[in-house]
């Protein structure tokens, strides 16, 4: 199986994080993952086409917000909380509590 690219912690850029979370769907996915932890991509319970969900997951992954790991035939997705906290201390709390309910 092809290895999935995740930017190293030191290469996560704030502008990319803000861009990724400027979309309401991606912000909703972010908040859902924060609440449930690691979860299967197909079980995220987001009503949209599979290709659209894949696009949103890719944007979140390439920005450094989430990580994906393979387990058998499943792809499990989770937030990179530790990496984001190292790179931008306090940012997760600001995003979670300052954004409008979605």
Asked if residue 43 has pLDDT above 80, the reply is: no
Q: What angle do CA 76, 30, 61 make, to 5 degrees?
A: 55
CA distance 3 to 93: 31
Tell me the pLDDT tens digit for each residue of 55-83: 999 999 999 999 999 888 888 999 999 99
| pTM as predicted | 0.88
Asked if residue 26 has pLDDT above 70, the reply is: yes
């Amino acid at each position: 199986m092809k290895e999935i690219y995740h930017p190293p912690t030191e290469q996560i850029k704030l502008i990319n994080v803000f861009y990724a979370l400027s979309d309401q769907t991606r912000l909703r996915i972010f908040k859902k993952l924060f609440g449930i932890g690691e979860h299967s991509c197909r079980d995220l319970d987001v009503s949209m086409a599979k290709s659209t969900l894949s696009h949103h997951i890719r944007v979140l992954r390439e920005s450094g917000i989430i990580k994906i790991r393979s387990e058998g035939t499943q792809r499990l997705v989770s937030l990179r909380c530790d990496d984001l906290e190292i790179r931008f201390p306090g940012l997760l709390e600001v995003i979670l509590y300052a954004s409008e309910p979605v």
